[in-house]
Amino acid sequence: MLMGQRSGCQEKSKKLELALSETMKAEAKIQNNEEEAEELKAKDQRLASVFGVADLKNGAIGLYNVGQSCCLNSLLQVFFMNIHFTGILRRITVPPCAMQKRRNVPYQMLLLLEKMQCGKQKAVSPIDLACCLSAYRVKLFVQHDAAQLFLNLWNLVKKQMKKPELVEELSNLYTICVQEHLACQKCSLETKRNSNMLTLPLPVLDSNSRALRTLEKCLQYFFHPEELTDHNMCFCEQCGRKTPFLQSMKLVHLPQTLTIHLKRFCFEESAYIHKLSHYLPFPQDLDFNAVLTENQCQADDSEKPPVQDGLSEQQTYCLAHVTSPRRRKSIPGSFPCSGVCCRAKAAWQYELFAVIAHSGSTSCGHYCAYIRSLTECKWYCFNDSEVCQVSWDDVKCTYGHSNLHWGETAYLLIYMKKHPQ
């Protein structure tokens, strides 16, 4: 009888040990699953904080048109595909109450970005952000100008960011600094003034209304010195009267993300807005030092590359940047360019990141965006809710055509500064 009881106790003890072992295994499995889930979640968060919309596992996401919002949609896609901008956007201060959240543009942009990255649908609606913008006179069901809407949207984002360091980063990311130089032609008086701008507004016609045929020609025309005479004369304090002046512009600082505005919409004498659709090619790679003169590219000290140790003052030139063979021979100590040899030159080399194109007329038009993924190096066309991969030849179709006034024409060009090797 006692042995039977003892045997029953041993069997019961083994069952308890087995049950406990299975429970511990189950708990360990649950813990491992939780750790894996947390690790995957952390990985997704790291990815989301670094990459742009088209670089996540869900692919490129479109935006539904919610009341002639094609212009807004195109600009938003350019913002969201810029990993430098989204890196700033993800560090904003979240507004404390619901009312402030509804009226805060950066926060609504962040919510839309999260919706695009976390959803599984091919397109999402930007209606909450559009309603937020309508409180700041950015209306729905209105034909917007992309350059003006870009300025309004950027200013709202900058104004509503609470952290000073983020405001500074946003300014450094987009702001262009130029120096306006005025010289009196009657005396030696000279004045200089620095000013900031968000876009380079390049005319596509010269002073005689002739078409400028390349982007490089537009840049050279914009920075070419202009004589201010007749009714354009300025008052000279030294002369005490209005005199002819020579006005010139110089580049002082170029940002990481450079936006060029091709002024294809012009006013005629009848106040009618006319669209200029002539052929105007733009390069994938743009080097300002090769397009403009040394006097037009006077970078501030923060953008000048360091001078190599052991170089004399005469060795601030290099063979790569001296185009004349006779001039090359006359410079003692000239040598092949190593990338940091030119004292006065900044590393102003850019590659095309996005094109916002306009089709149709000034009164009845449509915008779409061509954007190059920064990690995949592939081009995408964002046409409201439709997104597809395209080739460089497709992007070149936005060069324009003088006989196709309703055709697709590049309006905003967004270049990204090349990283030094």
Give CA–CA dist 347/79, Å, rounded.
24
Task: Quote the tokens at residue 262.
Answer: 């091709």
Q: How confident is the model at residue 246 (pLDDT cuts 50, 70, 90)?
A: confident
**Of 358, 363, 350, whose CA–CA distance to 143 is shortest?**
363
Query: Ranked by mean pLDDT, which of 57-61, 62-66, 119-123, 185-189 comes out on top?
Result: 62-66
**Of 80, 83, 88, 71, whose CA–CA distance to 133 is shortest?**
71
What average pLDDT does range 227-242 have in this prediction? 84
pLDDT more than 90, % of the chain: 52
For position 341, what pLDDT does the model report?
A: 42
Mean pLDDT, the chain, rounded, equals 81
What average pLDDT does range 60-89 have in this prediction? 95
Active-site residues, by number, are 70, 366
What is the maximum span of the chain, computed from C-alpha positions, in angstroms?
Answer: 129
Q: Is 366 or 269 the better-scoring residue by pLDDT?
A: 366
Per-residue buried b or exposed e for 253-270, using 16+ beta carbons within 10 Å of the residue's own CB: bbbbbbbbbbebbeeeee
Q: How confident is the model at residue 279 (pLDDT cuts 50, 70, 90)?
A: very high
What average pLDDT does range 362-390 have in this prediction? 93
Task: Quote the tokens at residue 217.
Answer: 């020609």
- 314 pLDDT higher than 70: no
Q: How far is CA 91 from CA 36, 128, 155, in A?
A: 26, 20, 18
The two beta strands, 386-390 and 200-203, are unpaired
What average pLDDT does range 49-67 have in this prediction? 67
Query: Ranked by mean pLDDT, which of 19-23, 308-312, 323-327, 367-371 comes out on top?
Result: 367-371
> Is residue 284 within 8 Å of 226, Cβ to Cβ?
no
Give CA–CA dist 199/292, Å, rounded.
17
